[in-house]
């Protein structure tokens, strides 16, 4: 029988209780009451997800009442097996616990609920649950759990369970184990896909071990855990291990006295063969578990909380005067914090909160989510770009399969970078039809390069540019050069889908073409810059890619003459060729949740023949290139496209909020912001059960910082144009920029700015179109006056 050492740390219960105690109200997300409706159960499970970006666990009730959809997901663990395309694997979970009395599994679903609540403590990354229940035979008990996934030691998890027998004495069975009996829900209704094989189960009084292996990619996933009663409470306990196929359960039967509290704890370690050699999975995870046990819960949780404190110190945003907005932005930041990739890896469209969108990576990542990491945790932004670098071989294959040169990032990607977009419409859209996005939604190629350029600009990480970025920029530029079509004196791009997916097979989508022009110009500038320096890394890349200046000259030529136009009279940018001749229908009706309703007679099959659009398309350009368009152009296009947008994607609202703020449509902008920032908290798209809307979360952060905060960077200049809604008294945040931190404290009367840097520096800044220079480590007060602004040191 396997044995494991006793705890090293002898903490007093009070110390630990103090660490686990709830933070103050603004840091808590509470969900009270219980519903048997699977949808509502699953919405809670999504919202209450805990994690650390390596692995995240849905906030399911531990006994898994019928209808719940538990899940643990590990960043980068995808598998295909019988599925149509690769998907994020639902991994075994270590958090299942069930309490049995008189043969009944105790749950709000089987007992009368006297009180039931889950509380997510976002400050500490801890999920609490308390259920006071009465069994059908009148026994009253309170079941409480506390669980966390360590933030500083990503393989570790801890959970504490307590059972209070309020009005009875008698036997209670408490079971907890490791459950490998898990299925993905699949793409189509009722599919249930099995991605895991059982490799090994081991059990001992203090140890349980489960190792599973993904069926196609052969990734081993090991769980080692220890489940025990708290010290001093183990009298009158009968222990029995049980194995049910792929499930391992450690069962304790105790005879509880009326009024007694029985407490259990579980230490868990999760590892995969991506970090540890296959042959060493058992020894490594058990060694890690022993170390964790010796260290003890107290010290581990203390470190966990201080890591959370550090992250909040950098990333928190204060909004004074608007509780709803404050609660929601904090929740959004919490989500971003638990999803930042700790090693090379990206972020899926639903984060690691479910199998929605099969865990795939879309443009959502680079355009919506990436800026948060870039401005707060640049090493995570780098990990996301490294994912794109390491998946270049897949991107090369995508291009080759389509008959082009260079590298083409796939619209949806997973392990290799090869496109894994399903061929049929997702059930999210409730209509079965062929999907063309994988073939045609090519703007992603330049979206990735856009994020790369921002990264280098904001961090100054030239090593990354040299070692990885150059190849990414050149290979993707080469793709576009082979993809464009010569038409008369100019170039065009035919048969694409822009961000607005209602219109397929269109020519010259404005968003795509503008981005490609920018991309090819960037590639040429970078090439020339490095040619002048004679950089060795650059020469090596050029040799490997057989890249010559003649090829680069063509990129410049294409960039100059690729079709893109602004009507000089109306200032309008046509979304794609022929868009203005489509039938015109404005959005006239909204449903109860304020969502636009399709005009009568229009269906998703015919919508492509109208000017109605799914989400921001042309307007996305103003977001990405705020300094490249005049205010007349922004205004005209906003006025034109906004009333024709159905916002059928959650990506749309933040774009409208930010462009609205830029052009001064403040009231609408605030409404759009609230729709973004509360999309999951209020289930505004009706599908939060299927996961968090990552792009909306990232977009909400951008709206606060770049929209309301009005912060943009123009070359090496800070540009500030804040605007606060009437009810916001103060907006406070900080961002990282190169080796500096920009601190902003904005109110209606003034903006306080300080650049914190370890060395003296002077930074150009523009506030309300007025330019000046500020010194590091001094707080400046910028004041709005009707016609000017006054600037003074604090
Ligand atoms: C949107 C895309 C988005 C995808 C994943 C679609 O509905 O139209 O822009 O990338 O969802 O979030």
User: How far does the centroid of ligand 1 lie from the alpha carbon of residue 582, in Å?
Assistant: 23
Sign of the dihedral defined by the CA atoms of residues 84, 90, 92, 96, in that order: negative
Atom 5 (ligand 1) nearest CA:
349
What number is the average pLDDT over the span 3-29?
74
Residue 431, pLDDT > 70, answer no
Environment class of residue 10 by beta-carbon count within 10 Å: exposed (0-12), middle (13-18) or buried (19+)? exposed
**Rounded Cα distance, 447 and 346, in Å:** 14
Q: What is the structure's pLDDT at 213?
A: 97
Residue 784: how many other CB atoms lie within 10 Å? 16
Neighbours of 267 (CB within 10 A): 26
9 band by pLDDT with thresholds 50, 70 and 90: very low
Q: Mean pLDDT throughout 609-627?
A: 97
Is 14 labelled as part of a ligand binding site? Answer: no
The share of the chain scoring above pLDDT 90, in percent, equals 86
- Classify the C-alpha dihedral 769-772-776-779 as positive or negative: negative
Mean pLDDT of 761-779: 94
Sheet of 770-775, strands arranged across: 711-714, 717-720, 762-767, 770-775
363 labelled as ligand-binding? Answer: yes
| Contact indicator for 610, 642 with CB cutoff of 8 Å | no
pLDDT of residue 603: 87
Residue 1 has pLDDT above 80, yes or no: no
349 within ligand 1 shell (Cβ under 6 A): yes
Residue range 188-214: mean pLDDT, rounded: 89
- Phi then psi dihedrals of residue 686, to 5 deg: 70, 15
**Residue 154 — very low, low, confident or very high, per pLDDT cuts 50/70/90?**
very high
Q: What is the DSSP letter of 708?
A: I
Structure confidence at residue 5 as a pLDDT band (50, 70, 90) = very low
* Separation CA 506–CA 500 (nearest Å): 11
pLDDT at residue 605 in the model? 83
Q: How confident is the model at residue 630 (pLDDT cuts 50, 70, 90)?
A: very high
Widest pairwise Cα distance in the chain = 89
Atom of ligand 1 nearest to the CA of 364: 10
Our answer on whether the CB atom of 780 is closer than 6 Å to any ligand 1 atom is: no
* Mutate-to-test residue for ligand 1 from 444, 695, 698, 699, highest number of ligand atoms within 8 A of CB: 695
Averaged over 259-288, what is the pLDDT? 96
C-beta atoms surrounding 54 within 10 Å: 25
64 CA to middle of ligand 1, Å?
31
Residue linked to tokens 């409470």: 233
In whole angstroms, give the CA distance from residue 720 to residue 667: 20
Higher pLDDT, 424 or 62: 62
Residue 369 neighbours by CB under 8 Å, 6+ apart: 336, 347, 694, 695, 697, 698
- What value does the mean pLDDT take over residues 344-365? 97
pLDDT value at 85 more than 60: yes
Q: Which atom of ligand 1 is nearest to the CA of 651?
A: 9
pLDDT tens-digit profile of 530-564?
999 989 999 999 999 999 999 999 999 999 999 99
- Strand 50-51's sheet: what is its strand order? 50-51, 55-57, 72-74
* 616 vs 599, residue with greater confidence: 616
pLDDT of residue 11: 54
Structural contact between residues 724 and 748, judged by C-beta atoms closer than 8 angstroms: yes
pLDDT higher at 586 or 704: 704
Question: Looking at residue 430, what is its pLDDT?
Answer: 61
Give the confidence band of 426 by pLDDT, cuts at 50, 70, 90. low
The closest of 363, 383, 356, 556 to 461, measured between CA atoms, is 383
Residue 107 has pLDDT above 90, yes or no: yes
Question: The dihedral of CA 136, 137, 140, 143: what is its sign?
Answer: negative
Q: Are 389 and 472 in contact (CB under 8 A)?
A: yes
CA of 649 relative to ligand 1 center, distance in Å:
6
Quote the mean pLDDT of the chain.
Answer: 94
The answer to whether residue 631 scores a pLDDT higher than 50 is yes
Nearest-atom number in ligand 1 for the CA of 362 is 10
pLDDT score at 206: 80
What residues have CB less than 8 Å from 639, skipping those under 6 apart? none
Ligand 1 site, residue 367, Cβ cutoff 6 A: no
**Cβ of residue 649 lying under 6 Å from some atom of ligand 1:** yes
Confidence of residue 427 (pLDDT cuts 50, 70, 90): very low
Quick one: which of 710, 746, 716 has its CA closest to 457?
A: 716
Answer whether residue 626 shows pLDDT above 50: yes
CA of 349, closest atom in ligand 1: 12
Mean pLDDT of 736-758: 95
Q: How far apart are CA 82 and CA 183, in angstroms?
A: 12
Cα(318)–Cα(41) distance, rounded to whole angstroms? 30
pLDDT band at residue 792 using 50, 70 and 90 as cut-offs: low
3 state DSSP class of 201: strand
Which residue in this structure is represented by tokens 């979206």?
A: 447
Q: What is the pLDDT of residues 454-509, one digit of tens each?
A: 999 999 999 999 999 999 999 999 999 999 999 999 999 999 999 999 999 999 99
pLDDT at 541: 97
CB 80 within 8 A of CB 74: no
pLDDT at residue number 190: 74
501 lines ligand 1 (CB under 6 A): yes
Cβ of residue 728 lying under 6 Å from some atom of ligand 1? no
Closest CA to 721 of 619, 639, 627: 627
Task: Confirm or reject: Cβ of 351 under 6 Å from ligand 1.
Answer: no
pLDDT band at 379, cuts 50/70/90? very high
Catalytic residue among 87, 441, 501, 551: 501
What average pLDDT does the segment 585-603 reach?
Answer: 87
- Pocket test of ligand 1: the residue of 348, 440, 501, 693 to mutate, having most ligand atoms within 8 Å of its CB, is 501
Residue 79 · residue 89 · CB < 8 Å: yes
pLDDT confidence band for 14 (50 / 70 / 90): confident
Mapping DSSP onto H, E and C, the string for 517-552 reads HHHHHHHHHHHHHHHHHCCHHHHHHHHHHCCCHHHH
Active site residue 501: yes
The residue whose CA has the least distance to atom 1 of ligand 1 is: 649
Q: Are 213 and 219 contacting, i.e. CB atoms less than 8 angstroms apart? A: yes
Is 615 marked as binding a ligand?
A: yes
Work out whether the CA dihedral 603, 608, 611, 614 comes out positive or negative: positive
């Amino acid at each position: 029988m396997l044995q494991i050492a006793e705890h090293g740390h002898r903490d007093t219960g009070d110390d630990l209780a103090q660490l686990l105690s709830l933070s103050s109200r603004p840091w808590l997300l509470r969900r009270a009451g219980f519903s048997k409706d699977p949808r509502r159960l699953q919405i809670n499970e999504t919202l209450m997800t805990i994690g650390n970006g390596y692995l995240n666990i849905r906030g399911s009730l531990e006994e898994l009442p019928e209808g719940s959809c538990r899940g643990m997901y590990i960043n980068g663990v995808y598998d295909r097996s019988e599925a149509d395309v690769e998907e994020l694997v639902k991994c075994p979970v270590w958090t299942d616990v069930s309490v049995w009395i008189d043969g009944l599994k105790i749950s709000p679903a089987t007992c009368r609920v006297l009180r039931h609540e889950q509380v997510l403590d976002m400050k500490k990354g801890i999920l609490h649950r308390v259920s006071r229940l009465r069994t059908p035979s009148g026994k009253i008990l309170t079941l409480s759990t506390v669980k966390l996934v360590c933030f500083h030691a990503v393989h570790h998890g801890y959970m504490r369970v307590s059972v209070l027998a309020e009005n009875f004495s008698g036997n209670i069975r408490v079971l907890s184990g490791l459950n490998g009996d898990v299925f993905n829900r699949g793409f189509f209704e009722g599919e249930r896909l099995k991605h895991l094989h059982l490799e090994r189960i081991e059990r001992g009084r203090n140890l349980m071990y489960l190792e599973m292996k993904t069926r196609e990619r052969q990734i081993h996933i090991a769980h080692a855990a220890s489940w025990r009663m708290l010290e001093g409470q183990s009298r009158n306990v009968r222990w029995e291990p049980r194995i049910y196929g792929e499930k391992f359960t450690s069962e304790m039967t105790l005879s509880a006295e009326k009024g007694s509290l029985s407490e259990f704890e579980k230490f868990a370690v999760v590892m995969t063969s991506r970090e540890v050699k296959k042959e060493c999975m058992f020894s490594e995870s058990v060694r890690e578990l022993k170390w964790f046990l010796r260290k003890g819960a107290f010290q581990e949780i203390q470190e966990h909380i201080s890591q959370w404190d550090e992250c909040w110190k950098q990333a928190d945003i204060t909004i004074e005067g608007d509780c709803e907005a404050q609660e929601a932005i904090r929740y959004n930041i919490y989500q971003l914090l638990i999803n930042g990739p700790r090693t090379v890896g990206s972020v899926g469209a639903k984060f690691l909160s479910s199998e929605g969108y099969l865990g795939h990576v879309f443009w959502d990542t680079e355009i919506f989510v990436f800026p948060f990491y870039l401005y707060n945790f640049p090493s995570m932004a780098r990990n996301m770009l490294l994912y794109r670098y390491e998946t270049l071989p897949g991107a090369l294959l995508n291009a080759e399969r389509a008959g082009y040169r260079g590298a083409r990032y796939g619209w949806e990607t997973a392990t290799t970078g090869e496109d894994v977009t399903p061929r049929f419409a997702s059930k999210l859209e409730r209509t079965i039809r062929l999907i063309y996005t994988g073939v045609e939604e090519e703007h992603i190629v330049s979206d990735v390069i856009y994020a790369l350029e921002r990264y280098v600009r904001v961090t100054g990480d030239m090593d990354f540019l040299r070692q990885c970025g150059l190849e990414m920029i050149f290979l993707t530029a080469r793709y576009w050069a082979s993809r464009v079509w010569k038409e008369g004196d100019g170039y065009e791009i035919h048969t694409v889908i822009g961000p607005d997916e209602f219109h397929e097979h269109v020519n010259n989508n404005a968003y795509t073409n503008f981005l490609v022009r920018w991309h090819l110009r960037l590639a040429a500038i970078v090439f020339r810059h490095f040619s002048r320096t004679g950089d060795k890394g650059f020469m090596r890349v050029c040799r490997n890619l057989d890249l010559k200046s003649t090829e680069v000259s063509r990129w410049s030529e294409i960039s100059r003459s690729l079709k893109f136009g602004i009507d000089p009279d109306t200032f309008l940018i046509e979304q794609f060729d022929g868009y203005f001749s489509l039938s015109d229908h404005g959005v006239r009706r909204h449903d109860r949740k304020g969502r636009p309703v399709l005009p009568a007679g229009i269906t998703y099959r015919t919508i492509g023949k109208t000017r109605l659009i799914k989400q921001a398309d042309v307007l996305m350009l103003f977001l990405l290139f705020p300094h490249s368009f005049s205010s007349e152009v922004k205004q005209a296009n906003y006025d034109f496209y906004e009333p024709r947008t159905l916002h059928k994607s959650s990506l749309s609202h933040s774009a409208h909020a930010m462009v609205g703020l830029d052009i001064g449509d403040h009231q609408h902008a605030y409404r759009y912001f609230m729709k973004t920032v509360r999309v999951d908290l209020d289930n505004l798209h009706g599908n939060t059960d299927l996961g968090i809307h990552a792009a909306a979360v990232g977009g909400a952060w951008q709206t606060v910082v770049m929209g309301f905060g009005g912060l943009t960077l123009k070359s090496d200049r800070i540009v500030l144009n804040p605007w606060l809604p009437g009810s916001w008294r103060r907006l406070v945040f900080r961002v990282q920029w190169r080796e500096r931190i920009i601190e902003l404290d904005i109110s209606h009367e003034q903006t306080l700015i300080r650049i914190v840097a370890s060395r003296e520096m002077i930074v150009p800044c523009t506030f309300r179109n007025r330019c000046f220079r500020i010194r590091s480590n001094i707080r400046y007060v910028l004041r709005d006056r009707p016609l000017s602004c006054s600037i003074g040191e604090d």
